[in-house]
Structure 1
Amino acid sequence: MSWNALKDLTLTNDRVVLRRVRIGDLAEFGQIAYHEDIWRYFVSRIATPADLDQFIETAVHDTLSGSRIVFAIVDRETGRIAGSTAYGNISESERRLEIGWSWVAPAARRTGLNRATKLALLDHAFDVLGCERVEFKTDVLNVAARAGLAGIGAQEEGVLRSFNYMPGGRRRDVVYYSILRDEWPAVRRERFAALTAEPAR
């Protein structure tokens, strides 16, 4: 698949469907997005209908322009949207991209949905796009996200100090993680075994 076709991408596995955010998703996102704790470590927040409108509009614009590919995370068990994630900082020439801008509704946490989402994104990045590097970043204060990234086998690389402003004016430090192409087979086998095991016969 061409990197130029990412805006039309849909990814699936046994647990999730990832497809681009649509204007028509507004109402469904409105049922899950207004939880303050989702946005504690985000550089943007959804607190009002206007914020949600902006999120949807930006997601659609970025996807169509190719600057980011913003996905709705659809739980296959319920058929409902449970959150969002994205490919960003896309560099075809360097065979590199970032997975981020990820959030799920509180009810979807600790259900395996986020891990299944990461598996779908990583499989496509390495096996289809031929990435040499997939990177992640998060606020150094976001202990849960850092544990989650370590849990999927991403290697911590270092902290970039005073990286950007947060709502309220705090300058945040960000910590970078990555998975490299030659690491991915072992990471997939060791960290995603429960999602990739053959069903019992």
Structure 2
Amino acid sequence: MSWAEKAAAVLENEHVRLRPITAEDRSSLRAIALDETIWRYFVSRIENEADYEAFFDATLADHQAGRRAVFHITDKRSGRAAGSMSFGNMAEADRRLEIGWSWLGLDFQGQGINRWAKYLLLEHAFEQLDAERVEFKTDVLNKQARKGLLNIGASEEGVLRSFNPMPGGRRRDAVFYSVLRAEWPEVKGQLAARPKVARTEPVG
């Protein structure tokens, strides 16, 4: 079974439930996605219903084609859809993949949901997929996301300048982070023990 197939699993703990996205998730995610502030540092913008429909169609197509393993996140406290994250850039031969395409509705930011979702994805990557390296990247301007990635135990590696175009014409400098297999036991212990820290939810 390939990584793309194995990656798309149901992952959960007492805080969150992650499951592969389906076409039926369009409505529940729309209800929390139509706030422009969520997408400030995203490579695509959602400003209206048409933007959301195009975004969801592209997300679902990526998942169905195996380009990404896209997860719907449920907040177990409320039972509501909280947002989405993905495995992508899955280089199975190199034992390397990326966790990203992360966004949460405003009501779910600063509640520890990001940390627990990242915990489950890292656990799955290292303990089920046998990855050697898990990568993250974000906009160099996104201080909140950068702080959040450090808070989950990822190491900052450097900036790739003029990495990709952004809405509005700016070219993004992307800063990369990673967790390596040898680091995972310590990172796992820290994530499991750490109390929630408000407003450090990385997105983008």
Provide structure 1 residue ranges, at least 5 long, that are not aligned to the other structure: 196-201
What letter is aligned with 2:183? E
* Deviation, structure 1 residue 98: 0.2
Q: Which residue of 1 aligns with 2:179?
A: 179
Q: Which residue of 1 aligns with 2:118?
A: 118
Relative to structure 1, is the Cα distance of residues 186 and 8 closer, same or farther in structure 2, using a 3 angstrom cutoff?
closer
RMSD: 1.4
Provide structure 2 residue ranges, at least 5 long, that are not aligned to the other structure: 196-204
Identity, % of aligned positions? 53
Task: Map 1:58-77 onto structure 2 (within 5 A).
Answer: 58-77=58-77
* Residues 6, 129 of structure 2: 8 Å contact kept: no
* Residues 155, 179 of structure 1: 8 Å contact kept: yes
1:79-110, Cα deviation, whole Å (9 max, x unpaired) = 21111110010011111100001010111111
* Deviation, structure 1 residue 9: 1.7
* Residues 88, 100 of structure 2: 8 Å contact kept: yes
Q: Which residue of 1 aligns with 2:202?
A: none
Of 154-163 and 45-54, more deviation after overlay is shown by 45-54
1:135-178, Cα deviation, whole Å (9 max, x unpaired) = 00000000000000000110000000011110000011000000
* Deviation, structure 1 residue 51: 1.5
Q: Which residue of 2 aligns with 1:57?
A: 57
* TM-score (normalised: structure 1): 0.92
Of 61-70 and 150-159, more deviation after overlay is shown by 61-70
* Residues 126, 132 of structure 1: 8 Å contact kept: yes
CA distance in 2: counterparts of 1:100 and 1:7, whole angstroms = 14
Q: Which residue of 2 aligns with 1:198?
A: none
* Deviation, structure 1 residue 60: 1.6
* Deviation, structure 1 residue 49: 1.4
Q: Which residue of 1 aligns with 2:152?
A: 152
What letter is aligned with 1:127? E
Q: Which residue of 1 aligns with 2:90?
A: 90
* Runs (4+) off by over 3 Å: none
Q: Which residue of 2 aligns with 1:127?
A: 127
1:35-67, Cα deviation, whole Å (9 max, x unpaired) = 111000001012221222122211221111111
CA distance in 2: counterparts of 1:157 and 1:90, whole angstroms = 19
What letter is aligned with 1:39? W
CA distance in 2: counterparts of 1:44 and 1:109, whole angstroms = 20
* Deviation, structure 1 residue 2: 4.7
What letter is aligned with 2:18? L
Q: Say how many residue pairs are matched.
A: 195
Q: Which residue of 1 aligns with 2:13?
A: 13
* Residues 160, 173 of structure 1: 8 Å contact kept: yes
Q: Which residue of 2 aligns with 1:39?
A: 39
Q: Which residue of 1 aligns with 2:79?
A: 79
* Deviation, structure 1 residue 192: 2.9
